[in-house]
Structure 1
Amino acid sequence: MSVSDHILPNVLYAVGHTPLIALQRIRPDNGVDIAIKLESVNPGGSIKDRIATALIESAEQDGRLQAGGTIVEATAGNTGIALAMAAAVKGYHALFVVPDKMSPDKIAILKAYGASVRVVPEAPRNDEANYQNIARRLAEEIPGGCYMGQFEQEANWLAHFHSTGPEIWKDSNGKVAAVVAGAGTGGTITGVGRYLKKQNPQVLVIGADPVGSIFTGPVAPFKIEGMGEDYYPDTLDMAVVDQWIAVSDADAFAMCRRLAHEEGLLVGGSSGAIVHVALNVARSLPPNALVVALAPDTGRNYLSNIFSEGY
């Protein structure tokens, strides 16, 4: 089949150019606007689609990943889903090591793409039972295995510097006053923050962080998936973040339900945390300012927990 200008060669070409959507009801009364960058419309359902191809191509270029090889990664779910989708397109096998707090919905999606999944209990980073350490060992043991290293690879934050950041700047006509994002690997907030501050050094970069994550400390268990850590990843530039604001699991999940009920936006727990923080930030800004909240993934990944009765 010949590919026309209106037919994409494969699903990976559909990644990016996600919309900014203004919140109509969940907003302060001081004339400040909040817009969500809705990353769930990416074909794999999350912002992590943006880094999957970049990570794979980086591994191909430096020879770590060969034809017919196996992609191995430690993931809270969305990077795994994005890599599984890309692996299917590119003809690679895929194996993911995930923490046991990950939603069953995400695990089912990984398997639906044909990936293998190993679920492990949460453990400190310096413990050999930590999911990242297990993934590294498996990549070394499996013939043709390649550890993607989303927590270390520059390709992670560069993907956002070259796509997510420019999209926000263009679609807001350069009027964004503050951007709120979470940080797991730190790639999103680093890449977006560096790009926006290059355009306008006055743009505020705010990190939303689960209570229990090291970025606002002290470290303790938390339920929000895909953001927060117990150490500082190589891909996180702390200097680009103007302020970190902690948010509880309860406040994050309550905002998820508000977004679904009041705005028609079904998003995940990290998005709820980010919008909760964005609303507080917006209250401190002057009228007509614009706050952009990055909403990383879809709420369909959390129907069995966040959106189930009694959770």
Structure 2
Amino acid sequence: VALVAAGSAGGVYFERHLKAPEEQITTIVDAIGNTPLLEIKSLSNLTGCRILAKAEFMNPSGSVKDRAAKFLIEDAEASGQLQPGGIVVEATGGNTGVGLAIVAAAKGYRTIFTMPDKTSTEKIDLMKVLGAEVHVQPGVGMADPQHFYNLAKRIVASDPLCFGPDQFENIANSRAHYVGTGPEIWRQTAGHVTGFVVASGTGGTIGGVSKFLKEKNSAIQVWHIDPIEGGASSDYVNTKQSQVGPDGFEYIPKRDGSTVAEGIGLARVTPNFKTGLIDRGIFGTNAEIIQMVYYLLRHEGLFVGPSAALNVVGAVKMAPELGPGHTIVTVLCDGGDRYRSKLFNAKWLEDEKLTQYVDAPLKL
């Protein structure tokens, strides 16, 4: 069951519909995608725009990364890179690993994941429960051999059975959103979408969705939101300035600080990000993320994670620029259950000096 928008003389309304018989789910992998599009009604009322969000926490593993996981593995199967008995090895901030673990298990593959030490314990524990071998690496620069991305590369090179999907470089990631998320948004809004805004971890979502939507209507505004603490890619959107490193990657200077949004704040220009057709880069703060996390929980009953909250912050920032009556879509990347030890932990909030923002009113 999904929520879909249909055109009417009075505007856009939402109705529930069942999947057509040919779309019936037969495996857990088939359940990925076709998520509901929810209206955040209180914010629609406050901003004068329709604020809509894809409920990606309703994917089988609980996040938007299921979409990329499915495409990365099935693309590798089709090309022969992933053979029966193979091992999927990925560098991940957590959610892609969980998605890959579920898809891999359903298809009979083992998994090995490397990740930074700032990853929540909930994500690490979940990947282990799903049977993955997990390596947690120190938070060092990408040029360091101990960086979690570099470790994954070494593991792949060490065993011919290993396949590295590489969500950062592999454009099967953005293709998942070009053929899935983008068309769903277009259909669910009956083509009435006028703005789309999201943050980036790999560039896959914004790359694929923006390309599809702009092909449908070039007037649609696409914005990228970055955490101002440690962000980089919104600066690239606005200035197109980057620097090629000795490893051949195109890097963007990172801002000072550390964001509470795990896996967000892309510091290099990935092929997935380059596919994007993005009009503007904006920023959100840790304070705004915490405010929005608790606002959505208390006013909408939405228990979401920090990247989802940052995306909604972006939608609220876009609204006055577009003006009343526009339809703005964003993405609720995952649920809040993976951040109980952080965002919903009073001691953690106090240590991070963020407690005051839990009950702070939104500033529109």
Smaller-chain TM-score range? over 0.9
Q: CA deviation at 1:149?
A: 0.8
Measure the CA separation in 2 of the matches of 1:116 and 1:181: 31
Q: CA deviation at 1:5?
A: 6.4
Match of 2:357 in 1: none
* TM-score, normalised with respect to structure 2: 0.81
1:213 aligns with 2:231: yes
Q: CA deviation at 1:223?
A: 2.6
Residue 53 of structure 2, aligned match among 23, 30, 36: 36
Measure the CA separation in 2 of the matches of 1:9 and 1:58: 20
Measure the CA separation in 2 of the matches of 1:7 and 1:188: 25
Shift in alpha-carbon separation, 1:238–1:198, aligned structure 2, 3 A: closer
Q: Structure 1, unaligned stretches of length 5 or more?
A: none
Match of 2:149 in 1: 132
2:167 counterpart letter in structure 1:
Q
Q: How does 1:126-165 map to 2 (within 5 A)?
A: 126-165=143-182
Deviations 1:238-283 (A, max 9, x none): 7611111111122112211111111001111001111111111112
Could you say what secondary structure the match of 1:124 adopts? coil
Q: CA deviation at 1:234?
A: 2.0
Could you say what secondary structure the match of 2:90 adopts? strand
CA contact (8 A) 1:196 1:203 kept: yes
Q: CA deviation at 1:191?
A: 0.2
Match of 1:86 in 2: 103
Measure the CA separation in 1 of the matches of 2:25 and 2:312: 33
Match of 1:116 in 2: 133
Measure the CA separation in 2 of the matches of 1:101 and 1:167: 33
Q: CA deviation at 1:224?
A: 1.2
Match of 1:168 in 2: 185
Higher mean displacement: 16-25 or 214-223:
214-223
Match of 2:328 in 1: 291
Measure the CA separation in 1 of the matches of 2:211 and 2:275: 11
Higher mean displacement: 262-271 or 57-66:
57-66
Deviations 1:165-195 (A, max 9, x none): 0000000011111011111110100100000
2:232 counterpart letter in structure 1:
I
1:42 counterpart letter in structure 2:
N
2:115 counterpart letter in structure 1:
V
Could you say what secondary structure the match of 1:284 adopts? helix
Q: CA deviation at 1:294?
A: 1.0
Q: CA deviation at 1:6?
A: 8.4
Measure the CA separation in 2 of the matches of 1:73 and 1:50: 15
Measure the CA separation in 2 of the matches of 1:104 and 1:27: 34
Higher mean displacement: 211-220 or 271-280:
211-220
CA contact (8 A) 2:208 2:275 kept: no
Q: CA deviation at 1:30?
A: 4.8
Shift in alpha-carbon separation, 1:238–1:5, aligned structure 2, 3 A: closer
CA contact (8 A) 2:211 2:275 kept: no
Measure the CA separation in 2 of the matches of 1:256 and 1:144: 41
1:214 counterpart letter in structure 2:
A
Q: CA deviation at 1:148?
A: 1.0
Higher mean displacement: 262-271 or 236-245:
236-245
Structure having greater relative contact order (Cα 8 Å, sep ≥ 6) = 1
Match of 1:266 in 2: 303
Residue 279 of structure 2, aligned match among 242, 245, 254: 242
CA contact (8 A) 2:206 2:276 kept: no
Q: How does 1:95-114 map to 2 (within 5 A)?
A: 95-114=112-131
Q: CA deviation at 1:293?
A: 1.2
Measure the CA separation in 1 of the matches of 2:74 and 2:327: 35
Measure the CA separation in 2 of the matches of 1:58 and 1:264: 37
Measure the CA separation in 1 of the matches of 2:276 and 2:26: 39
Shift in alpha-carbon separation, 1:116–1:32, aligned structure 2, 3 A: same
Q: Structure 2, unaligned stretches of length 5 or more?
A: 1-20, 236-252, 350-364
Higher mean displacement: 168-177 or 51-60:
51-60
CA contact (8 A) 1:26 1:262 kept: no
Residue 290 of structure 2, aligned match among 244, 253, 271: 253
Higher mean displacement: 218-227 or 83-92:
218-227
Higher mean displacement: 236-245 or 166-175:
236-245
* TM-score, normalised with respect to structure 1: 0.95
Aligned length: 308
Measure the CA separation in 1 of the matches of 2:64 and 2:84: 26
Q: How does 1:49-64 map to 2 (within 5 A)?
A: 49-64=66-81
Match of 2:344 in 1: 307
Root mean square deviation, CA, Å = 1.6
Residue 280 of structure 1, aligned match among 314, 317, 323: 317
